[in-house]
């Protein structure tokens, strides 16, 4: 029971981890990207479209499908879609210096609209009875886990039974953490987010860093959407199913104090919270709905507690949310 | 080598919107030479240097490095030409260590290795006699330490053309001497050095040649040995002026404000005011001198009711009632309700004293908007006040409905000081009221302060230019690390004496 | 080019500079062209997707938004005004908070909770008191509920500087779950609450939406006056521009934040009330339907001016229902409307750049003949 609970919390936490790692990268460049929820949608639908087309090309027969391509095509489509959204966000906020909050919110509405539009169109295209599109074949490739995981009891179930995107999410978080803290690029990026004028005077190409960080962050976040559809949801896309995980991912960034390693811990904790209602016995339908409130309430509590601490190193990047214009007078 | 200029500017022009910041400026600097760029605030010195260091790009004109035309579009390009600039407002990341700031943006060959960089920093320190701890975080540093980090940052990049923008503004006289010694050593090393300043005696004691700018235009270059203060002033201002402040003897002084043993801790838990006591008398200007960030701001804010105090008392001798009112732990509104007429010109003009995006009328209203019955605003009296101030202080503005951020620095300050004086204060506090102002505006402000003093107001003046403090004030309180290090008679004290007092308690820490 | 030992760098091609204030009509012209450009793009996308010609697409959009007015059918037109009114009401609600630089992204939740309060009153008190009294009670409780939902983040913002953007966002979802809970509870598992006939706002002149529209019009004028001419409005502006200045002149910043969010939340509550008691007579988790987010953009695009916001609300509703009609006619997914309004909004926020900055192409310099 406990094993199953923990084991099922992990894949639920993965989209959050991708989302918050991506958001951390973006925020370190001084941009609060509230478009992440929309970008994760686009990442998800990108993967769906890629998988759909590839399945179609293979005549909907799993025997014709090449495992590498079956994974690579959705992966690239997902990342590509997310990066396009990231580019749009950077163009508006970095080049055109539009307010970041407004751009982000607009992009979220836009991204969710895109996701639902393409999702809905595909559903109509296959003429399915259910309001969803099913890509179990592709999903089976994504869900492939270590063959010996089942033989290792609870240890195997908790740590080894997951899809590769789950492990990748942890790797990505660790790599991001390493790059931020131990490399020259990371130092420069942090300087851009803290004080772009200083970074600029030090010869750092501020605009380039902001663009790259935002697009990279979007790409990482987009993978969260992909993992959700392909691994967690068994390749079933239904509109609005991804829900509000994107917002939670953004809140997690504050919880994690802008540290990807903390985000790993945080996202699995939140994964567990999202899942709690399914593992408490005897809840009625109505009470279930109340329990679904849990992650949001916990997020709020976390926000409040974090804001009460005042340590200098635990503050958001100083330039967060502010546009940079070199010739400001 | 000696004949060829390290850097030459030809007919540089730069405009911002309608403002011409530089017009047809040409000048040269040779290696092994220190060139001063002299000009009033707003004369375009910084803009000109920003074009050499790649922050701005000139609209017209050319820059030559070692005789060859150079295009500098970004600070990175400037580094490639071995140009390094030390900005007046330090370009440092607060949460980084000294070394992290120094290697920022570099693309050194090999692995990223902070320890190796720290060793190199230490080597540079030894060579020029700097004292900086490579691992120290910038937000815990004093101003002179930060400046040292900036200089090392430039040297680390191998710069041999150095630009320093107003480097002495935040230093004590002793620290200034130390800096000059370093600069001379660098000059003897064969580096070309440009120093921006508006202080004449520094120009004369340090530089080989002086280039003068006035209102964005290049006036000329003279050899320091062949000039004097009067000539330079004339070049700088455009006319012969008397730079004397008329100081009258204080009359009918009574203690107006008594500060007793106040302590104040800031949000980070640092003690910023430590057992501060003094008395401000009516009809007298009390100067406050100290290194920037030694507690001056907190002190004034404490009196104005903007800082929570840990202990102590601020007593106000109310001339109307004859009572001693304690202002401690009262809000600005409660202080006003007590009938205390206290005016305050804060250091941060557009961030605290005024609202940049509001027009002059609405800024006048800041002090008076609660007046009048009902829930609605009365815009008529503040409009009249705005018109009066524009008239009286000769504020240059398109109209009363212009947002104040659109005005020049001097005019912004006139609006702020004018509003504060209009409240007919009994205590008038001003923090760095002439910072960034041109000479004429500065003297307007000095005259206004003197007028207040003659009308029996207790004036408290926080300044950074010790020469001005000594000329303007009656007594000078020297503050260091939140403590009162001494109160001296401004008529007899010397600059060096005050400089020593400024660093008295923790002299070791302040050396850079 | 002569040989140089130093690296040759390219001159920047574009020169961007901050503008002084632009003349208002020029600014309007830029915004108008942005809208037209966006509409053109929308037209192209629609044509490509549907195969319908340009003119056809636009006429379907017009018909979708306003209906066949010329044939004397006004029901769609009234619906247009009703929807505009609701969006405007939410936009008005978030405006005081925005002016104070408090990112109230919780209009959705505040309206939903206000609507829920109305619903609960309608169901529990309906028939137990005179209808007029019931409506008064509904109004009071809706406003109160919205205000409470708005003030919770404000309290924490004022005292601990808790990030209000995420706090208010999370409050939306808490509100949604509470409504879901209530719907399951009273809907007896069906997940639907049947429309209730008690406590409905009165219908005037036989037009079901007229009262809603009038209420919002009044709110629009009142809010304009409040922000521009009242002492409270002035305090909000000062706090928004600079909290330091506010402290300096003795404004109690915490009090202003809390008071303004009470107002903002209460106005959202009114929007919820109009939706539940004035329109649907029922509630579900989708009653506000994401308009709380759109309202944020409307408020921003309207530069906090209620009258401009009314125009923008109209534009957004027009796009939404027009594109909805296009999607309907050609069997496209309904989210097409979100994409269309998204495109126009992105164009509109983007064009502000050209109002605040001027871009000049730098003249290339002739030869290096120095």
Q: Where are the domains of chain B?
A: 5-237, 254-341+425-505, 350-423
pLDDT of the residue at A305: 87
Given a contact cutoff of 8 angstroms between Cβ atoms, the answer to whether B437 and B413 are in contact is yes
Q: Residue B66: which of B40, B35, B28 has the closest Cα? A: B28
Backbone dihedral region for residue B270 (phi beyond 0: left; psi -120 to 50: alpha; all else: beta):
beta
Residue C174 to residue A114, Cβ atoms within 8 A:
no
Burial class (CB in 10 A: 0-12, 13-18, 19+), C367: exposed
Residue C338 has pLDDT above 50, yes or no: yes
- Any chain C CB within 8 A of the CB of A181? no
Burial class (CB in 10 A: 0-12, 13-18, 19+), A212: middle
Give B274's Cβ-side CA count (13 Å radius): 13
Q: Residue B289: which of B89, B451, B454, B503 has the closest Cα? A: B503
Nearest to A105 among C160, C293, C337 (CB): C293
Chain A's closest residue to B56, CA to CA, is A327
> Cα separations (Å) of C255 from B333, B375, B417, C263, C322?
14, 16, 29, 12, 43
Q: What is the side-by-side order of every strand in the sheet holding B271-281?
A: B271-281, B255-265, B311-317, B324-326
Given a contact cutoff of 8 angstroms between Cβ atoms, the answer to whether A73 and A50 are in contact is yes
Range list of β-strands (E), B184-296: 192-197, 209-214, 217-223, 255-265, 271-281, 284-289
State CA C137 to chain mean position distance: 27
Dihedral angle at the C-alpha atoms of C203, C208, C209, C211, nearest 10 degrees? -10
What CATH fold (topology level) applies to the domain B5-237?
Rossmann fold (3.40.50)
Q: Which of A101, A206, A300 to mutate to test the interface with C (most CBs of C within 10 A)?
A: A300
Tens of pLDDT, residue by residue, chain A (329 residues): 678 788 888 888 999 999 999 999 999 999 999 999 999 999 999 999 999 999 888 887 888 888 889 899 999 999 999 999 999 999 999 999 999 999 999 999 999 999 999 998 888 888 777 778 888 888 888 887 766 666 667 776 777 777 888 999 999 999 999 999 999 999 999 999 999 999 998 889 999 999 999 999 999 999 999 999 998 888 888 888 888 889 989 989 988 889 999 999 999 988 888 887 777 776 677 788 888 888 889 889 988 988 887 676 777 888 888 888 876 64
Residue B512 has pLDDT above 50, yes or no: no
Residues of chain C contacting B55 with CB distance shorter than 8 Å: none
Residue C7 has pLDDT above 60, yes or no: no
Residue B507 has pLDDT above 60, yes or no: no
- Any chain B CB within 8 A of the CB of C254? no
For B262-268, the CB contacts below 8 A with 24+ separation are B262/B302, B262/B309, B262/B311, B262/B312, B262/B313, B262/B314, B262/B328, B263/B309, B263/B310, B263/B311, B263/B312, B264/B295, B264/B298, B264/B302, B264/B307, B264/B308, B264/B309, B264/B310, B264/B482, B265/B310, B266/B298, B267/A310, B268/A310, B268/A312
B372 confidence band (pLDDT: 50, 70, 90): confident
User: How does A71-82 read in b/e, with b if 16+ C-beta sit within 10 Å?
Assistant: bebbbebbbbbb
Residues C81 and C85: their CA atoms lie apart, in Å, by: 6
Name B196's bridge partners: B37, B165
ipTM of the complex: 0.88
Residues C201 and C138: their CA atoms lie apart, in Å, by: 10
Q: What is the mean pLDDT of residues C38-61?
A: 85
Residues of chain C contacting A286 with CB distance shorter than 8 Å: 181, 184-185
Query: CATH number for the B254-341+425-505 domain, one of 3.40.109.10, 3.40.50.300, 3.30.420.40, 3.40.50.620?
Result: 3.40.50.300
Q: What is the mean pLDDT of residues C243-249?
A: 92
CB atoms within 10 A of CB A181: 13
Nearest to C250 among B66, B333, B358 (CB): B333
For B434-439, the CB contacts below 8 A with 24+ separation are B434/B463, B434/B465, B434/B468, B435/B347, B435/B464, B436/B41, B436/B42, B436/B409, B437/B41, B437/B409, B437/B410, B437/B413, B438/B40, B438/B41, B438/B42, B438/B43, B438/B410, B439/B40, B439/B236, B439/B237, B439/B241, B439/B243
Chain C's closest residue to A244, CA to CA, is C173
Chain A's closest residue to B54, CA to CA, is A201
> Cα separations (Å) of B490 from B44, B288, B473, B497, B502?
33, 11, 6, 11, 15
3-state DSSP percent of chain C in helix, strand and coil, to 5: 70, 5, 25
For B323-328, the CB contacts below 8 A with 24+ separation are B324/B258, B327/B303, B328/B262
Domains B5-237 and B254-341+425-505 alike in fold: yes
Domain definitions of chain C by residue range: 14-361
Domains (range + CATH), chain A? 15-147+157-314 (1.10.3470)
| The two structure tokens encoding residue A81 | 């879609």
Residues of chain C contacting B365 with CB distance shorter than 8 Å: 234
- Any chain B CB within 8 A of the CB of C18? yes
Given a contact cutoff of 8 angstroms between Cβ atoms, the answer to whether A121 and C333 are in contact is yes
Give how far A34 is from chain B: nearest CA, Å.
25
Q: Which of residues 189-248 of A touch B (CB under 8 A)?
A: 190-191, 194-195, 197-205
Given a contact cutoff of 8 angstroms between Cβ atoms, the answer to whether A244 and A224 are in contact is no
Q: What is the mean pLDDT of residues C320-341?
A: 86
- Any chain C CB within 8 A of the CB of B332? yes
Q: What is the mean pLDDT of residues C160-169?
A: 90
Residues C118 and C137: their CA atoms lie apart, in Å, by: 9
Q: Name the residue with tokens 């202002």.
A: B327
Q: Which run of H or E residues covers position B360?
A: helix B360-365
Find all residues with CB under 8 Å of B256, minimum gap 6, and list them.
Answer: B280, B281, B282, B316, B317, B319, B426, B427, B458
Residues B106 and B230: their CA atoms lie apart, in Å, by: 45
Residue C368 has pLDDT above 50, yes or no: no
Given a contact cutoff of 8 angstroms between Cβ atoms, the answer to whether B461 and B469 are in contact is yes
What CATH fold (topology level) applies to the domain C14-361?
ABC transporter involved in vitamin B12 uptake, BtuC (1.10.3470)
Question: What's the mean per-residue pLDDT of chain B?
Answer: 88
Residues B196 and B166: their CA atoms lie apart, in Å, by: 5
State CA C76 to chain mean position distance: 21
């Amino acid at each position: 029971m406990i094993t199953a609970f923990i084991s099922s919390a992990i894949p639920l936490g993965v989209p959050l981890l991708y989302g918050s790692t991506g958001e951390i990268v973006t925020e370190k460049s001084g941009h609060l990207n509230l478009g992440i929820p929309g970008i994760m949608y686009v990442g998800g639908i990108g993967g769906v479209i890629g998988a759909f087309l590839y399945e179609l090309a293979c005549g909907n027969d799993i025997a014709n499908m090449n495992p590498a391509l079956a994974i690579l095509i959705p992966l690239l489509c997902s990342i590509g879609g997310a990066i396009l959204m990231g580019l749009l966000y950077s163009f508006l906020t970095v080049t055109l210096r539009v307010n970041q909050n407004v751009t982000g919110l607009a992009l979220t509405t836009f991204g969710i609209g895109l996701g639902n539009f393409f999702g809905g169109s595909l559903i109509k295209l296959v003429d399915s009875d259910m309001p969803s599109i099913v890509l179990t074949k592709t999903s089976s490739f994504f869900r492939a886990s270590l063959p010996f995981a089942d033989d290792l009891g609870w240890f195997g179930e908790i740590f080894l039974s997951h899809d590769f995107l789950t492990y990748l999410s942890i790797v990505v978080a660790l790599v991001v953490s390493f790059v931020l803290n131990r490399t020259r690029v990371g130092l420069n990026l942090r300087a851009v987010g803290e004080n772009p004028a200083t970074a600029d005077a030090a010869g750092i190409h501020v605009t380039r860093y902001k663009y790259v960080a935002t697009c990279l962050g979007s790409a990482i976040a987009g993978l969260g959407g992909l993992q959700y559809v392909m691994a967690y949801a068994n390749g079933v896309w239904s509109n609005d199913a991804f829900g509000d995980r994107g917002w939670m991912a953004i809140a997690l960034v504050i919880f994690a104090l802008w540290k990807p390693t903390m985000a790993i811990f945080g996202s699995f904790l939140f994964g567990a919270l999202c899942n709690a209602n399914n593992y408490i016995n005897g809840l009625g339908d109505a009470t279930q709905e109340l329990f679904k409130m849990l992650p949001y309430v916990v997020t709020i509590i976390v926000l409040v507690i974090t804001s009460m601490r005042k340590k200098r190193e635990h503050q958001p990047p100083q330039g967060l949310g502010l546009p940079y214009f070199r010739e400001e007078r | 080598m000696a004949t060829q200029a390290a850097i030459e500017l030809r007919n540089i022009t730069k405009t911002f919107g309608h403002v011409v910041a530089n017009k047809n400026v040409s000048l040269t600097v040779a290696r092994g030479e220190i060139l001063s760029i002299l000009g009033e605030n707003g004369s375009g010195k910084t803009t000109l240097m920003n074009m050499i260091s790649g922050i701005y790009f000139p609209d017209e004109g050319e820059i030559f490095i070692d005789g060859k035309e150079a295009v500098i579009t970004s600070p990175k390009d400037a580094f490639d030409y071995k140009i390094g600039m030390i900005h007046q407002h330090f370009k440092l990341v607060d949460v980084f260590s000294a070394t992290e700031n120094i290697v920022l943006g570099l693309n050194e060959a090999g692995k990223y290795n902070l320890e190796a960089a720290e060793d190199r920093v230490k080597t540079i320190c030894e060579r020029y006699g700097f004292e900086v701890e490579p691992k120290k975080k910038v937000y815990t540093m004093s101003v002179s330490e930060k400046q040292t980090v900036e200089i090392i940052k430039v040297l680390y990049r191998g710069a041999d053309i150095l630009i320093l923008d107003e480097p002495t503004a935040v230093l004590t006289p002793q620290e200034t001497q130390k800096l000059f010694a370093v600069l001379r050593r660098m000059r003897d090393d064969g580096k070309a050095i440009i120093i921006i300043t508006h202080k004449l005696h520094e120009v004369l004691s340090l530089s080989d040649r002086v280039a003068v700018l006035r209102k964005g235009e290049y006036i000329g270059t003279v050899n320091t040995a062949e000039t004097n203060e009067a000539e330079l002033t004339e070049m700088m201002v455009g006319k012969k002026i008397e730079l004397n402040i008329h100081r009258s003897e204080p009359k009918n002084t009574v203690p107006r404000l008594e500060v007793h043993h106040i302590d104040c801790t800031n949000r980070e838990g640092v003690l910023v005011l430590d057992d501060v006591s003094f008395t401000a008398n009516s009809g007298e200007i009390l100067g406050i001198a100290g290194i920037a960030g030694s507690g001056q701001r907190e002190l004034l804010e404490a009196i104005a009711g903007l800082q929570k105090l840990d202990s102590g008392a601020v007593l106000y001798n109310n001339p109307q009632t004859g009572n001693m009112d304690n202002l401690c732990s009262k809000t600005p509104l409660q202080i006003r309700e007590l009938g205390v007429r206290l005016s305050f010109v804060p250091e941060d003009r557009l961030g605290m004293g005024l609202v940049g995006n509001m027009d002059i009328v609405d800024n006048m209203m800041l002090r008076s908007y609660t007046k009048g019955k009902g829930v609605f605003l009365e815009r008529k009296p503040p409009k009249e006040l705005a018109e009066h101030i524009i008239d009286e202080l000769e504020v240059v503005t398109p109209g009363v409905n212009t947002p104040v951020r659109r005005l020049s620095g001097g005019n912004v300050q006139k609006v702020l000081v004018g509003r504060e004086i209009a409240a007919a204060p009994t205590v008038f506090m001003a923090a760095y009221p002439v910072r960034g102002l041109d000479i004429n505006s500065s003297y307007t402000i000095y005259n206004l302060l003197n007028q207040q003093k003659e009308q029996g107001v207790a004036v408290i003046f926080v300044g950074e230019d010790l020469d001005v403090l000594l000329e303007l004030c009656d007594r000078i309180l020297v503050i260091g690390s939140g403590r009162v290090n001494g109160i001296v008679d401004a008529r007899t004290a010397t600059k060096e004496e005050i400089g020593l007092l400024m660093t008295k308690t923790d002299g070791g820490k302040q050396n850079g | 080019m002569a040989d140089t030992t130093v690296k040759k760098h390219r001159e920047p091609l574009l020169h961007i500079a901050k503008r002084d204030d632009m003349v208002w009509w020029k600014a309007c012209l830029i915004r108008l062209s942005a809208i037209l450009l966006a509409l053109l793009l929308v037209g192209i996308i629609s044509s490509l997707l549907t195969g319908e010609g340009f003119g056809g697409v636009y006429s379907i959009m017009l018909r979708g938004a306003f209906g066949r007015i010329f044939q004397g059918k006004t029901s769609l037109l009234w619906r247009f005004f009703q929807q505009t009114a609701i969006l405007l009401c939410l936009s008005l609600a978030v405006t005081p908070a925005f002016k104070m630089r408090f990112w109230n992204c919780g209009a959705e939740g505040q309206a939903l909770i206000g609507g829920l309060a109305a619903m609960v009153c309608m169901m529990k008190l309906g028939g137990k008191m005179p209808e007029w009294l019931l409506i008064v009670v509904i109004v009071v409780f809706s406003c109160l509920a919205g205000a409470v939902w708005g003030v919770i983040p404000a309290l924490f913002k004022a005292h601990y500087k808790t990030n209000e953007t995420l706090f208010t966002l999370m409050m939306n979802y808490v509100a949604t779950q509470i409504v879901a809970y209530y719907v399951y509870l009273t809907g007896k598992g069906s997940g639907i609450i049947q429309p209730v006939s008690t406590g409905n706002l009165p219908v005037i002149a036989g037009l079901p939406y007229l009262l809603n529209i009038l209420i919002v019009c009044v709110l629009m004028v009142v809010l304009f006056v409040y922000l521009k001419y009242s002492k409270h409005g002035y305090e909000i502006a000062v706090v928004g521009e600079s909290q330091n200045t506010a402290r300096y002149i003795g404004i109690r910043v915490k009090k202003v934040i809390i008071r303004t969010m009470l107002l903002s939340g209460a106005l959202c509550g009114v929007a919820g009330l109009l939706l539940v008691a004035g329109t649907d007579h029922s509630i579900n988790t989708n009653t506000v339907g994401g308009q709380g987010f759109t309202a944020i953009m409307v408020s921003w695009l309207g530069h906090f001016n209620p009258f401009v916001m009314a125009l923008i609300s109209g534009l957004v509703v027009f796009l939404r229902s027009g594109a909805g009609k296009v999607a309907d006619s050609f069997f496209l997914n309904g989210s097409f409307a979100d994409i269309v309004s998204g495109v126009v909004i992105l164009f509109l926020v983007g064009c502000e750049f050209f109002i605040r900055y001027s871009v000049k192409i730098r003249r290339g310099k002739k030869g290096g003949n120095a």
